[in-house]
């Protein structure tokens, strides 16, 4: 962990940035972040001294916290938090009034509403933090790659598989590996004409980090898709595409991250397909006809 001060965020991303910074915060700073994230509308009205008391910490820790999030002055953080909580309230006004995590009294309608809200917010937050300049660099690498290898563990493995299937459909040579040993073996054989893409919500899954390290050592370009920009996986990547999934007790990283990761994958794939529009559309039609005609014969 370092004491580097983050650049001041857009007011729309202040809560997202707090979530992303959580793994690198000191315990005292983490308590402050947790209060802002759980009760932003209430916390924003607290003075530095009141916030310190509420979080059982010191005013020095409060100052250190808002500087780490990128603010020189506490009043600027409060202004941005007020703007963001107001915006979120307006944005979510069309959803059911239920909010928060799943509890034992929830009806099926409550569960549907809460899951829908969580996934909608994960997509909206990811759209805010996804840097289009960085995404453009990833698109350039993928569209010119001789081969694209992807790997992830658990729920992230399905995201890598989705990318592999999409790229294959437009004529790209793409591989997704089902287990670490296969992924490592493949990564070691890559070269400068290849791209390795690793998917991990936490960015700390050892098998996934090792895959990217091996690919980079072999000379391949490396891309990480993760929720945490200051993670081992991000440090092993040439390009980091950041998600902003919202986690709850029932929807942990394995579940909450998937929808945000799939959004990033869809953006990457669509931009690659657009870059060679005519060829991609021809490939899509050809593959559709191949599958559709054989499905009709078998019915």
Same domain for 64 and 160?
no
Q: What's the token pair of residue 255?
A: 């579940």
Q: What is the pTM of this model?
A: 0.76
pLDDT at 122: 83
Q: What is the DSSP letter of 299?
A: -
Same domain for 28 and 138?
no
Q: In whole angstroms, how large is the CA radius of gyration of the chain?
A: 21
Cα gap 169→49, rounded to integer Å: 58
| φ, ψ dihedrals at 198, nearest 5° | -115, 140
Same domain for 86 and 140?
no
SS3 67: helix
Q: What's the token pair of residue 253?
A: 């990283």
Q: What is the pLDDT of residues 18-59, one digit of tens each?
A: 888 887 889 999 999 989 988 888 888 899 999 999 999 999
Q: Are 32 and 48 in contact (CB under 8 A)?
A: no
227 within some domain: yes
pLDDT at 200: 93
pLDDT at 59: 94
Cα gap 175→113, rounded to integer Å: 36
Cα gap 111→102, rounded to integer Å: 7
Q: How many domains does the chain have?
A: 2
Same domain for 76 and 147?
no
64 within some domain: yes
The stretches in the chain having pLDDT less than 70 are 1-12, 88-101, 246-256, 293-299
If you count them, how many residues does the chain have? Answer: 299
Among residues 39, 61, 91, the one where a domain terminates is 91
Q: Are 234 and 203 in contact (CB under 8 A)?
A: yes
121 within some domain: no
Domain enclosing residue 182, as ranges: 132-288
Same domain for 164 and 284?
yes
Q: What is the CATH number of the domain that holds 144?
A: 3.40.50.10490
Q: What is the CATH number of the domain that holds 40?
A: 1.10.10.10
pLDDT at 297: 65
127 within some domain: no
Cα gap 56→231, rounded to integer Å: 28
User: Could you give the residue ranges of the DSSP H alpha helices within 101-193?
Assistant: 108-129, 132-144, 155-169, 180-188
pLDDT at 223: 98
37 within some domain: yes
Same domain for 40 and 160?
no
β-strand partners of 241? 225
Whole-number average pLDDT of the chain: 85
């Amino acid at each position: 962990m370092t004491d580097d001060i983050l650049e001041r965020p857009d007011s729309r991303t202040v809560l997202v940035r707090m979530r992303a910074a959580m793994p690198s915060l000191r315990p005292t700073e983490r308590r402050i972040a947790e209060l802002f994230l759980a009760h932003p509308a209430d916390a924003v009205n607290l003075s530095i001294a009141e916030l310190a008391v509420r979080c059982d910490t010191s005013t020095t820790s409060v100052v250190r916290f808002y500087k780490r999030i990128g603010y020189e002055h506490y009043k600027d953080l409060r202004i941005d938090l007020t703007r963001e909580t107001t915006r979120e309230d307006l944005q979510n006004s069309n959803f059911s009034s239920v909010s928060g995590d799943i509890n034992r009294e929830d009806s099926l309608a409550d569960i549907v509403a809460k899951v829908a809200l969580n996934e909608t917010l994960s997509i909206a937050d990811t759209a805010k933090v996804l840097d289009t300049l960085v995404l453009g660099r990833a698109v350039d690498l993928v569209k010119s790659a001789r081969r694209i290898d992807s790997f992830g563990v658990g729920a992230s493995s399905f995201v890598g598989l989705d990318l592999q299937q999409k790229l294959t459909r437009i004529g790209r040579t793409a591989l997704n590996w089902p287990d670490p040993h296969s992924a490592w073996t493949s990564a070691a054989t890559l070269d400068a004409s290849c791209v390795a893409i690793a998917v991990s919500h936490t960015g700390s899954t050892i098998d996934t980090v090792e895959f990217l390290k091996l690919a980079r050592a072999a000379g391949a370009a490396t891309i990480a898709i993760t929720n945490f920009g200051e993670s081992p996986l991000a440090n092993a990547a040439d390009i980091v595409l950041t998600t902003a999934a919202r986690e709850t007790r029932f929807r942990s990283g394995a579940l909450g991250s998937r929808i945000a990761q799939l959004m990033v994958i869809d953006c990457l794939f669509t931009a690659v397909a657009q870059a060679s529009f005519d060829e991609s559309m021809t490939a899509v039609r050809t593959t559709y006809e191949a599958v559709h005609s054989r499905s009709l014969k078998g019915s």
